Amino acid sequence: MAVERTLMLIKPDAVKKGVEGKIIAHVQEKGFKLVALKKLRLTKEQAQQFYYVHKERPFFEELCEFMSSGPIVAMVWEGENAIEEIRKIMGATNPEEAEEGTLRKLYGTNIGENAVHGSDSKESAQFEIPFFFSRLEIVE
């Protein structure tokens, strides 16, 4: 397996709950290396640009409103098979269906406010990481 990098976002609902540190610690305890981190607030337009792949879906506007409703924490994680493994750590999109001990089961509220976002493929990671971080902001 190859060492990969993936983007993970702590969404506004989890930031509002104050569980950023718990989420970061959870991923670190699984053996992944945090190589970039920042807290920011997206505008609605930035959220629309980031989630452009969902623009034809019925939840697009609601998602963009939510993601611009408060601060988020953006991170880049590195490790073996990081994209797939961190998605397992996050759990199913719907917290009600997520396995016990996953981030969404622990901190998600519902399918729309599910605490975290993670890249779902190498292609999405290649778009998502530079959306939030320049090469200078990622520690080698």
CA–CA separation, 67 and 120 (whole Å): 18
The pLDDT profile of the chain, 140 residues, written as one tens digit per residue, is 789 999 999 999 999 999 999 999 999 999 999 999 999 999 999 999 999 999 999 999 999 999 999 999 999 999 999 999 999 999 999 999 999 999 999 999 999 999 999 999 999 999 999 999 999 999 97
Q: Go through the domains of the chain in sequence order and give each one's CATH number.
A: 3-137 (3.30.70.141)
**43 annotated to bind ligand:** no
Q: Which of 117, 118, 119, 133 is catalytic?
A: 117
> Is 22 annotated for ligand binding?
no
How confident is the model over 12-49, as pLDDT tens digits?
A: 999 999 999 999 999 999 999 999 999 999 999 999 99
What is the crossing angle of helices 82-90 and 20-29, to 10°?
130
Q: Is 132 annotated as a binding residue?
A: no
| Amino acid identity, position 63 | L
**Residue 117 falls in the annotated catalytic set:** yes
Q: Which among 135, 130, 107 is positioned nearest to 24, based on CA atoms? A: 107
